């Protein structure tokens, strides 16, 4: 919520193949990226959960720097209703040079981007400003078992290529289905539940996630205050993970009132054991 000596505003970078997707863009993000050794010009998409300052104050600086670094692509931004207007105002509020080419898409619910490798989905959250959460879903892939294929007399080439794409083929007068020679590797799901009260959208995002990144602003002893500001407690975040079959939980967006994370870890692990607390520059492989 507020940066502290050890903790920056929220931002997460998801690196997958050619994509570098930034979730939210807290203040000071460009310096954090430089410390982490990640070039801002590598960013391909920015997903904004909502327009409270702690989630967007880094945008002007980051996008200006990307312009100064001669960002050659078009940057895609996705955010809740109102995002286009906010961005227009933002770049009118200072002498903006070198602004990169960008396109803003306002999204509400469901699938909003898809390519051959993955999908991006949004769900509405319940917060004091229009707010959405996001899921990154890798597509399932078929891995051919080469030993099995060889036994069936199949050699590498167009036939195996077709099977890999999920097509049934004819070989020596027999029908061969993809699952006869291979096995499905389930795609990974990574979700981000930003500022919210417990709600249906948060459950949908969390459902079967390999990694769930969720806000957890306070411990549950001050739940009333947490609800008043429309946030999740640490307990809420842990229940969100456990009740929706998530595999791993990272809690973020802690109030600056907590100087240490030990109580947060212990409350979270009471309800969901595989929880860690986000730290600046943390790297996780999924
Ligand atoms: Zn926030
Ligand atoms: Zn907020």
Question: Which residues are found with C-beta within 5 Å of the ion, ligand 1?
Answer: 52, 54, 195
Catalytic residues: 54
Q: What are phi and psi of 256, to 5 degrees?
A: -65, -5
pLDDT at 184 > cutoff 90: no
Helices 59-68 and 29-36, packing angle to 10 deg: 60
Q: What is the largest CA-CA distance in the chain?
A: 71
- Ligand closest to 253 (CA) is 1
What DSSP element (H or E) covers 214?
A: strand 211-215
Q: What is the pLDDT of residue 157?
A: 81
Task: Read off the pTM.
Answer: 0.91
What DSSP element (H or E) covers 164?
A: helix 158-164
Are 46 and 104 in contact by the 8 Å Cβ rule? The answer is no
Report how far ligand 2's centroid is from the alpha carbon of 47 (Å): 15
pLDDT digit string, tens, across residues 112-133: 999 999 999 999 999 999 999 9
Report how far ligand 2's centroid is from the alpha carbon of 248 (Å): 23
Distance, CA of 266 to CA of 141 (rounded, Å):
37
Question: What tokens were used for 149?
Answer: 């294929």
Report how far ligand 2's centroid is from the alpha carbon of 252 (Å): 13
pLDDT digit string, tens, across residues 45-71: 999 999 999 999 999 999 999 998 889
R_g over Cα of the chain: 22
Q: Which residue has the tokens 């509405």?
A: 124
Distance, CA of 243 to CA of 234 (rounded, Å):
14
3-class SS of residue 152? coil
- Ligand closest to 52 (CA) is 2
Report how far ligand 2's centroid is from the alpha carbon of 229 (Å): 8
The 3 state secondary structure assigned to 53-112 is HHHHCCHHHHHHHHHHCCCCCCEEEEECCCHHHHHHHHCCCCCCCCCCCEEEEECCCEEE
- Ligand closest to 196 (CA) is 2
Report how far ligand 1's centroid is from the alpha carbon of 36 (Å): 22
């Amino acid at each position: 919520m507020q940066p502290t000596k050890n903790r920056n505003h929220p931002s997460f970078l998801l690196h997958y193949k050619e994509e570098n997707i930034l979730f939210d863009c807290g203040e000071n993000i460009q310096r954090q990226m430089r410390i982490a050794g990640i070039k801002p010009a590598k960013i391909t998409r920015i997903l904004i959960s909502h327009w409270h300052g702690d989630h967007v104050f880094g945008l002007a600086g980051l996008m200006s720097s990307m312009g100064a670094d001669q960002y050659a692509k078009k940057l895609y931004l996705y955010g809740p209703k109102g995002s286009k207007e906010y961005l227009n105002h933002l770049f009118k509020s200072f002498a903006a040079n070198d602004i990169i080419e960008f396109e803003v898409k306002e999204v509400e619910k469901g699938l909003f981007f898809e390519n051959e490798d993955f999908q991006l989905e949004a769900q509405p959250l319940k917060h004091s400003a229009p707010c959405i959460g996001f899921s990154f879903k890798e597509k399932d892939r078929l891995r051919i078992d080469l030993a099995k294929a060889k036994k069936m007399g199949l050699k590498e080439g167009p036939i195996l290529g077709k099977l890999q794409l999920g097509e049934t083929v004819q070989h020596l007068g027999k029908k061969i289905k993809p699952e006869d020679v291979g096995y499905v590797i389930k795609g990974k799901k990574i979700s981000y539940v930003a500022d919210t009260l417990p709600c249906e959208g948060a459950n949908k995002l969390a459902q079967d996630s390999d990694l769930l990144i969720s806000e957890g602003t306070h411990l549950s002893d001050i739940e009333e205050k947490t609800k008043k500001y429309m946030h999740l407690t640490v307990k809420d975040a842990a229940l969100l993970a456990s009740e929706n079959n998530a595999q791993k939980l990272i809690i973020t967006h802690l109030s600056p009132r907590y100087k240490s994370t030990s109580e947060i870890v212990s409350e979270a692990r009471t309800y969901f054991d595989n929880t860690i607390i986000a730290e600046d520059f943390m790297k996780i492989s999924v």
